[in-house]
Structure 1
């Protein structure tokens, strides 16, 4: 019996190897090619449940391009490909070694390989979810296909924030296409050559659950989701399915499909409008939604006809003109073809490059920009939109708003000499037409050159104009074009919107803020910037472009700006509940604990995005209650971020030693240490302490008494206070933490409406944030995790908080008993200057934030 069993095992092993098809995994020194596996259509590995397979595969049944793919077996759908941009022939090979996977062409040249691995490979395994994984001897994952997505994600796979899907060029060519789906902390966005044409947040079929920061996108048996730490941010509930994929298709459509029977069934598509995809009707084609079918109707706009098969799309009917390619074969003589009242997919998700300008200025911006291929101009607002780099399809506005006009840029092409002139030339006579036209043409060319040179000199002069001087010209906003700029406003328009800057709603070292109402009835906050120094307007616009492209639910949105003459103004969304300091320290209703917690969490999320979610890290440097604004439901938004470059050289000189607001400054500012995002963490910790106590971190404990005035003096009364001592709350918080007496730190106005554990949580986080050594402070992503409960609460390191005792003692030594008047919110108006100590730290610590607010 035993020999028979042995023989059977040997036979089965031989059968498996000879078929070149393995179940679940293969081990190093394994090689596979399509020619060797032609009977199995290139397949060499199946998952344990046979749902997925790995193959050297030729999609579309073409015979020239082969790829290493993971395939859903039942539907024959490719869910991942390795060498998508470097296909091999049918004799190309996949080679597995202890160093990883390598795809080789027929000559042995490497076309694709896994990156360097931390240890040697033990096996290559295909899981039942379709994840291709390299494992080491300790069963640890070295590399996974799920972490390197191409154009598809499946159940069990996550697409994290910062990752993206890229379309394939076609169904038979898997090379990276021109469409991309990117996940940010607030949205999922489809783009084509950098032009946005769809956002998940704007799709009416998708439900938004919360304003939490997104972490990853996923599909599962019940639907399609974007998840955050607190649960679902976006959701699309779908019927139960065992297999579901989300895929960015070759035409730019993002679809969710499930497998039923033998076919994939489409359950969701974005964008839902067939004309909203960039090439619905090819280049410059006119797309019209069809009422009879889901397929849009394609035609050509006025003055255009269908192009050749090689060019596609639509081209000018006048053969003397052609459509330019961006910055290639560029002619200096351009024209604009009016294609009537139309729309363009990119306009829905981009801001105009110019606001309240005229059509001529809009066309000039395009003419002077070789990457510009067309413009759209709105008469009522003077808004100018620009198509850059690549032109897609145009959308018909059938019976809709006729206010938006489209203009396609065209260049003059070289034309042959008139037939009659040719004949005259062949007869030996000089063409009469040429004799007349050549002198005229020469004169026109000279005049064109003269005006172009003159214009260039004029623009150069205008660029040299300093912002601090009176501008001798008007319309200077048309001089510069910088991609990404938000809306531009005229000074007169903002003057009118604010009723001549009538309603002041805030002020600081960086400017004053006024309430305004734009013509579209939207309420805004208009900040008049002061002391911006003598830098060029282009630098100003570039900086605004950076700020304008930073979008997060916990950051105040910049809606526009004004740079006209000496005027520099910023237009922000209006926050109807004002700043945190007014709500926390003012005389209004007491902020409840949950509201304070929500403010803390929102502020932390906003800072985490600035530090980790932006393309370029942004360090705020001035986190304080005045710069945290509140909306309905006490949603917190950080303001005044990213504007440090707008300071004058005099102010910038102060930056190296004390940037921001005293009382919230990290110790490293005083020691000339390097400034990192951990300086914001320190400031956030100080704000967190103020949220707990409901008072400024440095305040005077006082006793008060009331005394009625003489009735003959008017019958009023006044309150006076006798200050008995200065309290440095961070030190008090440290001492109560050591004693475990957390409820002593809570705002007494809450009157017991907060628990011991709730206060302990915020105090421990705050004390960790204000550690003296920056490396000991958590980053803001970790702080968000602590607040949300996903990260364990840390224990503050007392040795790194002893500096608070020194600060507290120096405060006590420097303070004097001062008589003062208590105002309505309980803070004291000092009438005697506190004696300065010899400590450089204390030299600025006693002053209120209003007096010493730094650059902002």
Structure 2
């Protein structure tokens, strides 16, 4: 028994120095860690940082340093880019890191093959040390620094870390992939702190670069830059040889004692400073303090290679200035798992031998995007050009895949397209060419996904039942058929409910979810105008399509059947001078109408604004997008329409007919001719009086008033009105008795 106690005491005493060593960040010679064997990592004295094998997947590990007290264990350094020995940082179970007196840190895979090591200058190491700043240091027997991780950064800087001339930050391949990425940040000898890209496979440096210009760094022979410093107060600055500094980031009031800080070159090329509260109980997230560039989609243009998104992709910026990438319609990701990768056309866009003898119009057509640009990849510029000429130029050119029309100029482009981005200041149209015989459909919405889910579930059900009842083919067939039919009917019902049935589908309207429209309008933030029954907001959906979203007031929310009927009728109305209904939302109390966006404003702003059109302009055959004031309902219940445009019979107990639309049209036509509002306050003789345009017009006895007769039977049909405007039918004088 005594010997047993003695053994326990010996074991305790032997292990005590090692335990104490770990408590103060020291790691002794011959200390080692093995991936996947359950060993604890080496911890700094404060417990803030850890060094060891961070598990990525079941059998994948990363030799790294990470924030130890943060639940997500954010990596700040890893054995990868500091030397070219290890190109893929992912290690398998059984890999081993050891502190060696003659070679420093040595990393071997499970077969004993050397994967990575510290510099060869290390020859008399006495210990390793992980300090409270996150810096892993090798000391000699004389206690001098032989090697430190701060001198060989990967993609992150920590407070008290410096980036000297010639040292770089290198982004990872993607968020979960720690392999070498495309973006680099370097302090140059001329004092410029720059971002640039490389072709990773052959290590070729591209000429494109982004200078963090806000720093004011300039080449100054008398006072050259020395290094970039991320100091203890979490401020990034450039230190010059005379100890003057130039700030790069923002002065930070959140101290390093209360918050963790890091500056990371993200995989998408955005250099960002983050902070995280030390006192968090685990429910906090990294918060962005600042980032550069402000808009990488616009400010970083790669002449060779690409910027944040892959070839043929479109870059958009989110709320924290990070880019998102989307393939345009007719294109899909080469690698479905890499949303920042390249997009490829789903079908061929070039001419084929079989096309000979057919016109280009019969073979090709275009998908149209607004305010989108690929600023390089031009094959031809045409100026001046009309929109039609631009389309035809690309349509009849076998090498042209995309045409961009802007400011009376046309740019024909060939694939691949690079540096794609959304830019609402462009006022441009993009024509994406596709072959009609293989026309790609629009991106699948929720209804299509539900349908696919139904098919998937049916197959799963089918497989399960086959396994359970494999002894009887007949029973299998019956049960499988019944099961699939049931799933089909259920999902068909779901799809019908979401899309409003076959009627809505027939008019090609999209059924939006309320969440989609809330996101598109940024929480219904930018108001465009107000109508009789709702407010119209500006919205943008993926790929840059701008919409006008009308959020109906509660007083305008009919029963579901009435709402769907009106949507169906309006959706069938198509005319170049009328705003087109694109879709709708019908979710409980949330009922919204989605229209195309009128980029040049409403007819009202054109007619009643400060710069009203002249009579000669009004006579021109121009296309004017008219606001929606016409009523599409046929009912005796409830007044429909906008105040001032509503026909008198709505206020009487009489039958409502198509003539109510004729009255509304007459009011709009009269407003167009006079450039006056139908209902307005005006000052007459020093007093404010209410002004009704139709009453004033009757006094002036204008022929156009035949459309706005109070007696519906006296009004012409809409067809006759159209013929009058075209000069086909003579304009007759309105009946005085009919109006009065």
Q: TM-score range, shorter-chain basis?
A: 0.3 to 0.5
Q: Scaled by the length of structure 2, what TM-score is found?
A: 0.42
Q: Scaled by the length of structure 1, what TM-score is found?
A: 0.37
Structure having greater relative contact order (Cα 8 Å, sep ≥ 6): 1
